[in-house]
Amino acid sequence: MQFEYLQPIESEVAEFLSLLSSQHLGAKVKFHRQDSFPDLEAIQVALIGVAENRGAGVEEPTDLVVFRKEFYQLYAGNWDCKIADLGNILEGNSVNDTYFALNQLTLDLLKKDIILIVIGGTQDLTYPIYRAYDNLDKMVNLVSVDSKFDFGTPNIPMSMNSYLSKIIMESPNNLNNYSNLGYQTYFTSQEEIDLMEKMFFDYHRLGEVTADITIAEPIMRDADMVSLDLTSVQSAYTGNFSSFVPNGFSGKEICALSRYAGISEKVSVFGVFNSSGLRSEEVLRAQMVWYFIEGVVYRYKEFPLKDDNNYTKYIVSFEDDEELVFYKSEVSGRWWLNFKNKLTNFALLSCSEKDYREALKGVYPEKWLKEQKKSYVIQ
């Protein structure tokens, strides 16, 4: 464990915790304090703060005291979950120093199968978190909740608006899939949309997601890491009117997305970035993290075909002799789709009942089509 990169929780927060009752969340969490570091042996979820804003061109670090006070005065649900707050990674001498510390800490926690919650800081912190998966010999599915794609402009230093380009272009390329939830077309160039199509990435407009928030659940279910930009939320819900956001997710919707991320059995890192530091914004961020942890608590720990008795199999035949096999869990009601190609004899894609209903009408699920095209390009 890279202890040397972590600072204890703030003394002001430690004093605040002593005022809470035994029912508050703050009384049920193990903390990195001035005189002690929590034993991680049984910890399931770890939270760290990263006070790094230079990705937005701002030298002043994020004040994480407000978030912690708002978060730890919430009441815990009926949770059987061991949580630790490991304190903060402070700004390094350079941004790259901060990236290195976050990368090493993320890798250590991933190896311990501890789910990491990162409270930033700017969204370019997504990059060193993604790079931590390099040593795990696995491809990564990244989901971003954002009004933009964050490709940025080529040949300029990486920032919170351009981190995705570095993830896509830099070797080793371990990115299996990128999904965006909530992009807004007037913030997005046609060139960026064309690139998303060319890479066979998933992208869903704000209106599409808010019209049916449940479409986000299968997307989150396949994610390894989720990066959430607070500027994807309307100013009416964050209170941040200096960077006015007239259109975006509501407070209820962003909490629902956070819970979907938590309930996914694959998500191992959840980051919430780009806070302006306003108390109103930190109140919302605290509730988002609460919903994420509640999702973790209620993970189903199921996977199709682990126990045939818990799943119903549906076979849909198409006129071109293609057959799609769907599985529905009788425990959670969730759906999966069997995917076959020349490289993979058997794989499963998360999907929805709507995908199955559309298949009955002779319409191939969009996710299946993209995976099919991607497999032929790789070959």
pLDDT value at residue 33? 96
How, if at all, do strands 323-329 and 311-317 pair? Answer: antiparallel
Is 218 contained in some domain? Answer: yes
Give the span between the Cα atoms of 175 and 298, in whole angstroms: 28
Give the residue carrying structure tokens 């981190």: 163
What pLDDT, on the 0 to 100 scale, is given for residue 227? Answer: 98
Only one residue has tokens 């190609």, namely 341
Read off the tokens for 379: 């070959």
The CATH number covering residue 98 comes to 3.40.800.10
β-bridge partners, 181: 145, 204
Residue 117 resides in a domain: yes
- Helix, strand, coil tally for the chain in percent (to 5): 40, 20, 40
Complete DSSP assignment for 331-371: TT--EEEEE--SS-SSEEEEE-HHHHHHHHTT---HHHHHH
- Same domain? 336 vs 267: no
**Residues 30, 133, 93, CA angle at the centre, nearest 5°?**
70
- 332: containing domain: 308-378
Helix axes 279-297, 251-263, angle to 10 degrees: 30
Q: Which residues contact 77 (CB under 8 A, 6 or more apart)?
A: 294, 297
Which pLDDT value is given to residue 4? 79
Q: At a CB cut-off of 8 Å and minimum separation 6, what does 9 contact?
A: 31, 32, 33, 68, 85, 87, 88
Same domain, 137 and 70: yes
Query: What would the pLDDT profile of 47-99 be if each residue is shown by its tens digit?
Result: 999 988 898 877 777 789 999 999 999 999 889 999 999 999 988 899 999 99
Q: At what angle do helices 65-72 and 279-297 cross, to 10 degrees?
A: 50
Q: Same domain for 80 and 195?
A: yes
Q: Tell whether 318 and 183 lie within a shared domain.
A: no
Residue after which a domain boundary falls, among 297, 327, 359? 297
Q: What is the pLDDT of residue 376?
A: 66
Question: Is there a single domain that holds both residue 235 and residue 370?
Answer: no
Q: Which two tokens stand for residue 314?
A: 């549906």
User: Is residue 79 domain-shared with residue 149, that is, in the same domain?
Assistant: yes
Q: What is the predicted pLDDT for the residue at 305?
A: 67
Residues paired with 325 in a beta bridge: 315
Same domain assignment for residues 149 and 260? yes
Domain end point (choices 272, 297, 322)? 297
Q: In whole angstroms, what is the distance from residue 180 CA to residue 219 CA?
A: 9
Please indicate, yes or no, whether residues 268 and 352 belong to a single structural domain of this protein: no
Phi-psi region of 16 (alpha: psi -120 to 50; beta: other; left: phi over 0): alpha
pLDDT of residue 243: 85
Residues 362, 319: contact at Cβ < 8 Å?
yes
CA distance 259 to 293: 7
373/30 Cα distance (integer angstroms): 47
How far, rounded to the nearest angstrom, does the alpha carbon of residue 202 sit from its chain's CA centroid?
15
Q: Is residue 302 part of a domain?
A: no
Q: Are residues 362 and 221 in the same domain?
A: no
Q: Is residue 303 part of a domain?
A: no
Q: How many whole angstroms separate alpha carbon 336 and alpha carbon 352? A: 7
Residue type present at position 284: L
Rounded CA gap, 261 and 3, in Å?
Answer: 27
Looking at the fold, whether 141 and 233 belong to one and the same domain comes out as yes
Tens digit of pLDDT per residue, the chain (379 long)? 556 789 999 999 999 999 999 999 999 999 999 999 999 999 999 999 998 889 887 777 778 999 999 999 999 988 999 999 999 998 889 999 999 999 999 999 999 999 999 998 999 999 999 999 998 988 999 999 999 998 987 667 788 888 999 999 888 899 999 999 999 999 999 999 999 999 999 999 999 999 999 999 999 999 999 999 999 999 999 999 988 999 999 999 999 999 999 999 999 999 999 998 899 999 999 999 999 999 999 998 887 666 678 899 999 999 888 899 999 999 899 999 988 755 555 678 999 999 999 999 999 999 899 888 887 665 4
239 and 345 belong to one structural domain: no
Residue 160, both tokens: 């919170």
Q: How many domains does the chain have?
A: 2
Q: Is residue 228 part of a domain?
A: yes
Residues 114 and 16 in one domain: yes
Question: Is residue 239 a part of any domain in this protein?
Answer: yes
Boundary-marking domain end, from 297, 331, 360: 297
